[in-house]
Structure 1
Amino acid sequence: MIKGLYEAHLPVSNLEASIEFYEKLGLRMAWRDEETAFFWMEEGRSWIGIWEGKEVETPYHPSLRHIAFRVTYEDLKQSLQWLESIGVDAVPFRNRTSVEPFIRAYQGNASVYFNDPDGNSLELMCHVEVPEHMKHLSENIILTEWEKLLEQK
């Protein structure tokens, strides 16, 4: 029955500034009205809606103000340079101090985080093949360290 995610929504304080930001990420606008804009994440398959309004004052929580964009592993390796090239700063995830992309071996994915102009949490995320003997690793591993571990096997 369910084939994937069609849409997700985030609150914003300034629609025009947010449109500029999401276009800078390479997303193409699907449609807009006076207080809302929708951008394709995967054209014809899924989009993100941004809504101008007082809801942006809702305190951040990942269940309310977070979206992860799917990228390839190779893209993730270049993510910090790409974010810098478009004037966006990566941010640490939770209690981490590093902004470097990291691997969650126990989940089989990798991420890097950044925020939109209103502090909505955005993530570039990809699937990672985890060798069976490494699936027990519970700590987050910086991507460069992960690649060193893979070379050691």
Structure 2
Amino acid sequence: MIKGLYEAHLPVSNLRISVEFYRKLGLELCSEITDTSKVAFFWVEKGKSWIGLWENDEAVSTKYHPSLRHLAFRVELDDLKKAKLKLRENGIELRGDFGLDPIEPIVMPYNGHAMIYLNDPDGNSVELITYLEKVSENHEIMYLSEWEETIGSNQVQ
């Protein structure tokens, strides 16, 4: 029955600044309403999924928690490997997570995912993530290069 996630929404304090940020991530603006309420919608996959950005006064006062104010975009592994440089070219810096510095993607071996993290202008957490199709009982979070050495880069998909 369920085929995927259609929409997610985030609070923002300045719609203009946030629209520019999400354009730099490569998302296509679907619609923007500024007369009655300040909201913009971006396609993640055109016709399939989008995010809504809602300007409001409480945007920055809502404390971050992974269950609030977090988006994760699925990307291909090759794009994830190139993301740091591409984002930096657009003035967007990565942030560390799980005690690791943002020098390259990190891997959670026990669920087979590689990811990078960044914050939007309001501190909303944005994640770029890919599934690696190789799960391990190892629970140590590591850098992608370490993961590739562990399993052999020819096995990473």
2:50 corresponds to 1:47 = yes
Following superposition, the deviation at residue 144 of structure 1 comes to 0.9
| C-alpha RMSD of the superposition | 1.5
TM-score with structure 2 length normalisation?
0.90
Q: Partners of 1:40 and 1:93 in 2: how far apart?
A: 27
Q: Which residue of 1 aligns with 2:29?
A: 29
- Corresponding letter in the other structure for 1:10: L
Q: 1:94-152, CA deviations, whole angstroms, 9 ceiling, x for partnerless residues?
A: 4x131121111111111000000000000000000216xxx101011100111111229
Q: Which residue of 2 aligns with 1:138?
A: 139
* Separation in 1, partners of 2:33, 2:15: 10
The answer as to 2:69 corresponding to 1:74 is no
How many aligned residue pairs are there?
149
Instruction: Name the structure 2 match of 1:86.
Output: 90
Structure 2: runs of 5 or more not aligned: none
The residue type paired with residue 45 of structure 1 is: K
Identity of aligned residues (%): 50
Structure 1: give runs of 5+ residues left out of the alignment: none
Q: What CA distance in whole angstroms lies between the structure 1 residues aligned with 2:148 and 2:86? A: 20
State the 4+ residue runs in structure 1 displaced beyond 6 angstroms: none
Q: What pairs with 1:87-126 in structure 2 (closer than 5 Å)?
A: 87-94=91-98, 96-99=99-102, 100-126=104-130
SS of match in other structure, 1:88:
coil
Give secondary structure in 2 for the equivalent of 1:55: coil
Q: TM-score of the superposition, structure 1-length normalised?
A: 0.93
